[in-house]
Structure 1
């Protein structure tokens, strides 16, 4: 019977012990209260079953805060899985621009300027001078502050008798002619030129490449800097969204399982609170700083998601939180007192 099949699928939102003990009773009640002739549950009935089922998974029917804690857990797990998927999707990007591409970009943007040094990136992301990988893992975990997004930087000398206005106009014109999307306004950085004046920074994007040009406002002979890096690959956003939703749902289920099994185990709650502080604390500290930085100094693209979560700077705290979470789950998995009686079926 189609209606019975649909209701059984919706009842999967309830935990297995609940379905085993009262599933048939609830199914019969649903069928008895459904108007004759319907082959599918109404949208309201389906949403109500999902809502009650997800709430039932949390246990603790008398608690007024368990839903909030479950939502926080789901959000946290969703953000971390989204960040992990985003990092994996970054591997679809081309390698960072090489020396030849950087030199050619400088020659086409500011003809006549001689490159005196080109520092090429070894990977999309680096830590301690090593690519983020097996060799760079110890640096990433112990010294997360050494992490940075890879880029290729060209240092060049300024042409004699070239004023800052001429440099800026030339760079804008030639970048636009070459198909770059140039930022509407140049902005002054905190750099100090030879005469004490702040430098002017110009940003542009073309395809999967972002450009940052720092022009001196000081006298001729001051050096200028051109930086190239890859923009966020198109695969990052969909991968992060899908992984984030899956991670949030998984986090809700795991929290519910642990909550039902640890209603009288205070040590599990303590470990959980420690985990949340270790995971949420760095994100709460990093997000406002990055947001202020992004607003004050617009970038060609947003910082990667994991940086908004305080990673990898706070990698030691994340690992410590992971250990606490594992200990809490292990403790919850151990046999304990008989759980509280399951609540009566709720259909409205």
Structure 2
């Protein structure tokens, strides 16, 4: 099996866990084995353990984010050494762009990044789809390495021979890479995520209307924040209203999440689509009721995906012209 090393900031640990889930099938199929600093056990010297596994890795994943670029340890110690090994042909570096940041002019900026086109994972409507792209890229790299690299021989120790271990691998023993445990999300967590998402959608709409107006002659956008739980948006072509909507929280019955109404209204009882907060064992996400028939009801939407869904509903009349 090929060894995969995760270089990442602890601020991105949740995203790393989600990626590791996607890579589980590669581990089951004995294509790769993964390592990151959460595998360090009591009694090990942390720097030695990280350095030893970095030096032994066949594939090094750089989980790129603003926090990664700001970390002296990630950037100066792990990334720079990873690039030295990459350029010497001793390892393959794969940048995985987690969150938007200025990564193109870094030492690894010349390497083809994943997901596709280097689009940050957090900007994909469905993060599972983004991490699937990453997993496929890692599988392709692993299969290429397996074709070109000689298998490592593992000599059988004689009774008088003591097998040496990599530097930092003290107290080593084989163990499972499946060490994730299910997370529990409280009602407070869900409520906070819903409010954060609503505010994200509001900012998304306001900025998108400004940009739409700047790019298209005769188009005007109007955004109005009515209160903490409601905003409206309208698009005009040569002064004539082409599209309107209201997005709100706190509706009755089925609209208990974040609802979309294809009109400017103060009514909270009617709507065209609704997003509810749900959770799996690792993260909170948004799920559409499917009333607009624009996405699968099984799709797990990020905040970006939720905003794109509602923006697509607003701008659709202009795209049919």
Instruction: State the TM-score, normalized to the length of structure 2.
Output: 0.28
Q: Return the index of the structure with the highest Cα Rg.
A: 1
Instruction: State the TM-score, normalized to the length of structure 1.
Output: 0.26
Higher relative contact order (CA 8 A, sep 6+): 1
Larger strand percent: 2
Larger helix percent: 1
